[in-house]
Amino acid sequence: MNPVVDYRTKIARPNLHQLRPYGDTMDDGKVQLSFSLPVPDGAEAVEAARQLATKMGLRDAAVVHHEDIGEGFSFFVLYGNCQHAVDYANIHVPKVDVERMDFYAVNAFIRDRIGRKVVILGACTGTDAHTVGIDAIMNMKGYNGEYGLERYPEIDAYNLGSQVENAELVRKAIELRADALLVSQVVTQKDVHLHNLAHLVDLLEAQGLRERLVLVAGGPRITHELALELGYDAGFGPGTLAPEVASFVVQEMVRRGLA
Amino acid sequence: MSDESGAHLETRPGFHPVARCRTAGWRRIAFIGICKHAGKTTAFNHFLSRLTAVGETVGLCSVGIDGERTDHLSGIQKPQIWASEGTLVVSAAQALEASSAMFEWLEELPVSSPLGPLMVARVTLAGEVLLAGVRQRAHVAQAIQRLKAWGAEWCLIDGAFDRIAAGVPGLVDTVVLAVGASAARELSIPAVLRAARPFLRRYRVPAADGALEARLQPAVERGQIGWTTADARDGTAGAPAGSALPDDLLHIAGRDAALFGLPRQAAWSEAVDAVYLPGAVTDEIVADLLGHRRPLQLVADHPAQLLLSETAWARFERAGHRLSVLRPLPLAAVAVNPHHVQGGRLDVRALAGAVAEEAGVPVYDACGGDDEDGGVSRCRNGRRD
């Protein structure tokens, strides 16, 4: 009788220095992509989509779905084989070096190490009206099983909502004697929101407030590296929950002697 | 070339803005861009290569992240920073570890960052350096102080995006402004000039005259907002030149009062003719003053406090008011970058000429450089080869 073989030992191992997408077999580079073209659906449009995918570096690009989406536009789904690889083993993404505490631990930390309520303001600034992210962090009901900062007894949390001008945020920070500002921005390719994020830092510096505040940026394309480049103390991307932000803010306050 | 003779593109061998800085004694230099991809780091490298080529000890830091291979958002290749042996750097620990240069670790500064604590290090084996972790004006002050203590004869501070926070008198001696074609969506010289104008104007704002400075001195000393009235000035007509007014003729308000509206302050009146603002001067603040009946002299502390749009600035002046600064900061040079990040390029001589006409300081091609610099790279599409 043959011994039982663990199927997991039969799976090919990825080369972490030459990492490619996985489709059907290891290293096949298979990817799926979709896009729209501003031309009516038809044979020419399908061929255009295939040629575009080839120019993107995909081998054996094939259109597996196409449809008319109205107004002279068409939509495509393609498969193809990616020819490029990345050195996964040498990728290092900066992470905030703080202990992630839960709701109870954050409140206890504030009581023990800060000894007063921590004031945190959150806002989508400038023209940005995408409040989903900041609401998930700030609002009492929270998100994904975690309370928002408004629920924390040791935190005075103020969600200023959307389209808040930088000057208004600074006024509120002064009025409410804020310890931390959470600024949410959907960073677009045209960098409009980056300019707004950078402008807030210049404004806080000019007003002599920057040193006194923990400044956090958040949004779909925000990383710690981008936040540092903009002059923020940390940057949180999608999926971040209130305890992560609160843990960073309170530990940063203690580290910088702001408690 | 003569700095006073008017600005023009200088690419001939022998000219370098470093010479201007050396002559003027400006050894702490902030590199500020009018936008992302303006050519700040290329201009920075231009200085660095020149200084290290003649054996000067240079200290480096950046208020953003510089020296990384690609842009975090766009993935576009970015200019790297090559530091030779003996160069001093302030950067986050993980950024230094990611550099190809080798370092002697000298000191840990009491500043943390997501990339680890800020370190002072000396390059022991030349290579590329990644500068990161310095993000506040206060960090820059600490970095410069420590770099000088470890023997830096020059301190170069690279900027980030269009942030101007590091361009502060006392913190640095001068500014090099990078003007890049990428500042405008439309690839045209007038569009780039429109984007550059508020930055250039900031460094050309005149210094407040001595008599006005004396009138405002009590507020300056307290770091608070102060304003005086024409009546107060009349009351000191016989006073010796430069003498300060008694405090009761100068009205003082908290540093933040301007953000809440100067005309709404209790002691504000239509007789006010000069006001000193130690904090930010924003579009909102000057808009509040547009209706002031008497011509007003608004004195900002220094150029980095002027956060005004071109439109707001023009409106303020059209209303008969004037801006000045207590502590000007000289602009050493403008580096032009004709390459647009999304492709295309402007004629570098035409761009430099147009910028020079507005800037009044030497303008040079950040990407082209000259044959003698030994380190200025050729540029293509806004990035270094």
**Chain A residues touching residue B135 (CB < 8 angstroms):** 201, 228, 231-233
Q: Quickly count: other Cβ atoms within 10 Å of residue B242's Cβ.
A: 11
Give chain B's mean pLDDT. Answer: 83
Instruction: Spell out the CATH class of B210-236+244-325.
Output: alpha beta
Across the interface, whether the CB atoms of A92 and B73 are under 8 A apart is answered no
Q: Which of A55, A117, A141, A172 is catalytic?
A: A141
Same domain for A149 and A32? no
ipTM above 0.85, yes or no: no
**Chain B residues touching residue A171 (CB < 8 angstroms):** 259-260
Burial B148-157 (b: 16+ CB within 10 A, else e): bebebebbbb
pLDDT digits (tens, 9 = 90+) for B255-280: 888 888 888 887 888 889 999 999 99
pLDDT per residue as tens, chain B (385 positions): 333 333 334 444 445 788 889 999 999 999 999 988 888 888 899 899 999 999 999 999 999 887 666 666 666 677 789 999 999 999 999 899 989 999 999 999 999 887 889 999 999 999 999 999 898 999 999 999 999 999 999 999 998 888 888 899 999 999 999 999 888 888 899 999 998 998 999 999 999 998 889 889 989 999 999 998 866 554 444 344 444 445 446 788 888 888 888 888 878 888 899 999 999 999 999 999 998 989 999 999 999 999 998 899 999 999 999 999 999 999 999 999 998 888 888 888 889 889 988 888 888 887 765 433 322 233 222 233 2
Q: How many domains does chain A have?
A: 2
Residue among B47, B62, B173, B58 nearest B118 (CA): B62
Same domain for A122 and A238? yes
Give the whole-angstrom CA distance, residue B378 versus residue B381: 10
Give the whole-angstrom CA distance, residue B100 versus residue B122: 13
Residue A238, pLDDT above cutoff 90: no
Same domain for A166 and A65? no
Q: How far is the alpha carbon of B117 from chain A, nearest alpha carbon, in Å?
A: 10
- pLDDT value for B377: 30
Burial of B18 (0-12, 13-18, 19+ CB in 10 A): buried
Interface residues on B facing A, Cβ-Cβ cutoff 8 A: 35-36, 63-65, 68, 72-74, 94, 98, 112-116, 132-133, 135-138, 160-165, 185, 223, 255-256, 259-260, 278-282, 284, 304-305, 307
Same domain for A232 and A114? yes
pLDDT digits (tens, 9 = 90+) for A27-76: 899 999 999 999 999 999 999 999 999 999 999 999 999 999 999 999 99
Same domain for A137 and A242? yes
Range of the domain at A59: 12-82
Q: Is residue A95 among the annotated active site residues?
A: no
From the list B35, B160, B185, the residue facing A231 with the nearest CB is B160
Same domain for A185 and A223? yes
Same domain for A231 and A108? yes
Inform me whether the C-beta atom of residue A212 falls under 8 Å from chain B C-beta atoms. Answer: no
Give the whole-angstrom CA distance, residue B371 versus residue B369: 7
Provide the CA A203 distance to its chain's centre, in angstroms: 24
CATH 3.40.50 boundaries in chain B: 3-203+329-384
Give the whole-angstrom CA distance, residue A89 versus residue B349: 46
Instruction: Write the single-letter amino acid at B185.
Output: R
Antiparallel, parallel or unpaired: β B225-229 and B250-253: antiparallel
Same domain for A150 and A229? yes
Nearest residue on chain B to A232, alpha-carbon basis: B135
Same domain for A74 and A165? no
> Domain B3-203+329-384, what fold?
Rossmann fold (3.40.50)
